[in-house]
Structure formats: structure tokens, C-alpha cells
Structure 1
């Protein structure tokens, strides 16, 4: 009962702020722009016979995958900010007074943000599929929305976004400074990891290591990505292995954060 009360409290906290819907609105616009724009580019290439050739059977999932390949940064930020804002505004003090078991509080926050990340996944997919399918349809390309593989892809994408939000919670617990957490998320996702993934693809042994990077694991879980289409590699995890890697990163970061920042006095 204590745990479910903690989950209810965390849901109330999250929905009482503007953070979740502001990030969601930005994510929708960003994902829809990327998906619609690339669908127009690749759809135009297909009709003119010029430019990079991507089989029509692979193109829809590639376009739809922008929900995760560029949208994953938003659930990470949501999870991290949901934790760091508690330290910044010291709202953890009344929370811990009401529920002294800090493991229960952190567990409730982890489950809440996992569910919020799944909701972000649904929203991002609506944006990418809505924009992408409309543009592809305009070029006469079947978006394959009735195929079982497409729906399996959708389910894995929602799971990936949920796990990214959980990773954000772990990062927020590990790095309680809100500014530092934002800088780490943006620097790693937009600059550091892309360079690491490119560098890891150079040799076989580095590719074996690179497949365990968070972005690589996420792409493996989802099963499609603009990054993997541009830089294909024979070394990749199975979808379930990618999910386990993301879950392990979330758990490890959260556990370390619990034994460091989370157990300290907050006021």
C-alpha cells in the first residue's frame, strides 16, 4: 500500500507541473518535422530515381523510428528533471517526512516515470507515424500500418521510450544538480555518443563494445533507426538484449544514485 501511495503521489507531482506537457509539445513538433521531412526526401528520391535507394518495404519503419531515434532525449530529460527539481526546490523534505522509506519514494518515482516514458512513446509515435504515413502516402508508398511487424515495432518503441525515462530517473538521482543533468543529457545524446558510435564502427573489436552503448541498444530494441541505415554494422544486439541493456543502465544508475545523493540530507 505504501508503494502505491508513493506512485499516486509521484503522478500527482508530475501532472501538477508544466514540465511534462511542454516537453511533449516540443517533442511532437521535432519528431513530426523530422519524420515528415525525411519521408518527403526519400519519397521524392523514389519517384525520381535519384538519390539513396531505400527499399519501400524498409522505408516506413525507418521514418516512423524518428519517434525514438531523435525523440528519446525528451523522456530522458523528463525523468532527470523530475528528480533534480526535487533537490532544487527541496520538495523531497516533506515527501520524506510523509514517507520516511526513501527506497519506496524512489521506486514510486521510477515506476511513475517509466509509465510517463511509455506515454511519451505513444505520443511520439503518433507524431512520426501521422506525419510520415501522410507524406509517404502522398508519394504512393504504402506505410504498412496493417502489418504485424509494424505493430511489433510500435510496441518495442514504446518500451524503449519508457526505459529511457527510467534512465533519466537514475541520472537525476546520480547527479542531483539540475543544470549539470541537463548538460550531461544534451552533450551525451547529441554529441558524445554519436561520435562514439561512429568511432566504434571502425574495427570489429570496437564494434563489439559499441553495441552496448545506450543509443545502439535502443536502436537494437526498436529494430529500425536512421543512424543504423546510414552506418550499417554487422554487429548488433537482438531486440531483447537491447532492452536488457537499457534496463540495466537504468537500474545501475538508480542504485548508485540511491546510495549517494538520495540518502543525503536535502535541507
Structure 2
């Protein structure tokens, strides 16, 4: 726990955490606004699905549900929030090399696995903190919005509770991803730029590839493979209701947990064998 506190102190004593926190709050506000407008449009009247393919029409009709839209609002800001948590997880590791404190850290605590474990725990706690702040803001905002529209937010229903708790799991696991990514690429600038490009561009590109393969081979199951993309798995986890044609929420959780196990194990092995000097 002393090592974990030390890692958290390293983050608190730099300006990075509150800059990322401010960015997460701004994107949260924008995401909530977009989700509220979408909920208002979706729940205000019947959905026109004429001419749409059967599965797509079923998804549109399933999304016109108070539970689905409420879960979407309660977990607003996840997309960019996870990106900021990922970057903070990267900085937990790369700060050691950027500020040239890695040698001192490992001389003080020679057991590198213990140090990496402390960094993983610290990154997970940072993710949980971001989740807590965003949830504290989105829950009352959603309740006010739904009450003003005369809808039931269903807070306390298991579907809503599950979405909120799985959102917590996503934030924690993405902090772990960041540590593994930072171990892989020690350059702070290189790691952060690569992570941002992979997260924003790579996600879109991967989903496009799966869509094109589905259209080309005319096999609907191919589109479900997009859940192997971490950001897509995170989005799947927070859906209040299961949409037709989509994998269950637990599949997204399993995918993220598998990534977390692999990245944390790989990070520990690499850090143990790598020359720090």
C-alpha cells in the first residue's frame, strides 16, 4: 500500500491528472447533451423503420426503450473518459522514464513485479475515481431530465445498476491497459500519441473492416466479432438492454478482462527483464 500511495502521489504532484480530468468533464457534458437529445428524439414518438433491414429495424425499436436510453445517459462520457484513463495509466509508467526516476524507484524496491503491481492498482484506482466523479454528475442530471420529460429513469432496476457497475469495471480495466501500454512503449510522447491514434482511428477502422467483411461475405455473425475491439466491448457492457444482433453484455466484460490479464502479465514480464538504465 505504501507503493500504491507513492504512485498516486506521483500523479497528484503533476498537472497532468487535472488537465485530463478537465478534458473528461468537458467531453462528459457534450456526451450527455448528445445523449439527451437522442433520448428525447427516440422516446418522444414512434420510430419509422419502414425500408430498414429486419435486424436494423429491430435494433431501432429496441433502443426506443426508457431503460436503454436511461442507461445510456447514466453512463454518458464513457468513450472519451476511458481514453483519459488510458492516458493516465500510461503516464503512471512513462513518467518514471520521462523524469528519470525509474532507477531510483527500482533501487528502493528491487522486486520489480511488486512495483508493477502497485502501478496497476494505482491506475485501477484512478479509473475508479474518474468513474465515481462522472457517475455522481450523470445520475442526478439524468433523473432531472427524465422527470422533466415525464419518463421513468428506472434507477434501481437491475438493468440500470448492471450498466453502471459494468461501467466501473470498464474504467478500472482501461487504467490497467494504460500501464501495460506504457511498459511496452517507454517514450511518454510516443506512447500517448500511439494510444490516441489507436483508440480514435483504430476503433473506427476495425469496425469498418468488420462491416465490410459482413457485407462482402453476407454473414451476419462477422459483425459480432467487432466486440474484440476493446472500445466496442466497453460500449457493449453499458447497454441497458440487449439489442437484437448484438452479443450479450457479459461478452464485452470477458473481452476486457482478458485484455487486462494479458497486458498486466506482459507488463510485469517486460519490466522484470528490461534494462532500466
Per the TM alignment, residue 237 of structure 1 is displaced from its structure 2 partner at its CA by: 4.6
Which residue in the other structure is 2:247 paired with? 236
Aligned residues: 258
Larger Rg: 2
Q: Residue 98 of structure 1 aligns with which residue? A: 108
How much is the aligned-residue C-alpha RMSD, in angstroms?
Answer: 2.6
Query: 2:16 aligns to what?
Result: 19
What is the rounded CA distance, in whole Å, between the counterparts of 1:71 and 1:132 in structure 2?
A: 18
Paired residue secondary structure (1:66): coil
| CA 209–165 in structure 1, closer or farther in 2 if over 3 Å, else same | same
Aligned to 1:56: 66
> How far apart in 2 are the matches of 1:74 and 1:179?
15
Q: 1:42 aligns with which of 39, 43, 46?
A: 39
- Do structure 1's residue 10 and structure 2's residue 45 form an aligned pair? no
Give the direction of change, closer, same or farther, for the CA distance of 1:133–1:180 in structure 2 (3 Å limit). Answer: farther
The answer for unaligned runs of 5 or more in structure 1 is none
Separation in 2 of the partners of 1:245 and 1:37? 27
| Structure 2: tracts of 5 or more residues without a match | 49-59
Normalised by the length of structure 1, the TM-score is 0.84
**Within 1, Cα distance between the matches of 2:272 and 2:192?**
18
1:217 aligns with 2:233: yes
Q: Deviations over 1:198-252 (max 9, x none)?
A: 3314244533532222123223333359xx9xxx66242542x422321221232
Distance 2:208 2:93 in 1: 32
Q: Distance in 2 between matches of 1:157 and 1:135?
A: 21
Please say if 1:252 is aligned against 2:268.
Answer: no
Q: Report 1:1-267 matches (<5 A).
A: 4-44=1-41, 46-47=43-44, 54-201=64-211, 202=214, 203-204=219-220, 206-224=222-240, 234-239=245-250, 241-260=251-270, 263-267=273-277
User: By how many angstroms is 1:44 displaced?
Assistant: 4.7
Q: Does the Cα contact within 8 Å between 2:77 and 2:134 map onto a contact in 1?
A: yes
- Structure 1's 32 and 70: CA in aligned 2 closer, same or farther, altered over 3 A? same
Partners of 1:69 and 1:137 lie apart in 2 by 26
CA distance in 1, matches of 2:66, 2:154: 10
Q: 1:237 to 1:178 in 2, by over 3 A?
A: farther
